[in-house]
Structure formats: C-alpha cells, structure tokens
Amino acid sequence: MALWQGKSQRKPTGGRRRYARGKRKFEIAREVIPTVVAKAQEGETLRVRGGNHKTRVLGAFKVNLVDPKTGKSASVEVTTVKENPANPNYVQRNFVTKGAIIDTTAGRARVTSRPGQDGVVNAVLVE
C-alpha cells in the first residue's frame, strides 16, 4: 500500500487548505518493509530522490551494542524482540524499530537507530 504524502487539508487555524494542483507520482511514499530478526544479515540499497542512495536493513542478525557504563561497543547477535512501544503486534512478528527493546547475547538493549532508514541497527544496553 503506497502512501500519498502531502500537507494536511486543514490549516493550523482550522480553516480548509485548497490546493492549486493535484497529486504527483513522485509524492508517493515507498512500500513499508519492516526490519525483522533473521538468521543472516540482509539489506537493500535504494535509489532515492536526487539520485542519492539509502540503505535499508531487511533482516537483522547482529547489532552494534554500546554499554553506557563502560562506553565500549561491540557487535552482538540479536535473539528476539521483547518490547516495542510503536506497536505491540511488532513483538510477535519480531519487527525491529527505533525504541524497541531487543534481547541480545549481551543482555536487553534499546534500539537507537532507524534500521529502515540508516542501514544499520544500533542499540544501547539497558540492563
């Protein structure tokens, strides 16, 4: 399901905003493909507006984990998703989003990056 982007039909004052033109094809958003916990790391590179490239993580096997007490970082394996404030259904489907609490081999961690936008999964140790 592609989403049309655009401004709201209403102004901040509550009045109706009338557009001078219709929708354009380049305003369609891309299909949402969430990052899942997988057995192997997989991703894709997309060409975006302006000829730039965006890397998207599709399957997360490892995560860059930072320990706030020691300040050291390491690459550890992801086991499963424990909590996700974005959507409780994401826990059952093992979707990794920013703010999700994941279970790793080093302990529970909170995801700080946006895997679908940044192309990497970064997290901070919670316990």
* pLDDT at residue 78 in the model: 95
Q: What are the mean pLDDT values of the chain's consecutive 10-residue runs (127 residues total)?
A: 78 93 84 92 91 94 95 95 95 96 96 93 93
pLDDT at position 1 is 59
pTM above 0.85, yes or no: no
Residue 114 contacts residue 99 (beta carbons within 8 Å): no
Q: Which residues pair with 10 in a beta bridge?
A: 16
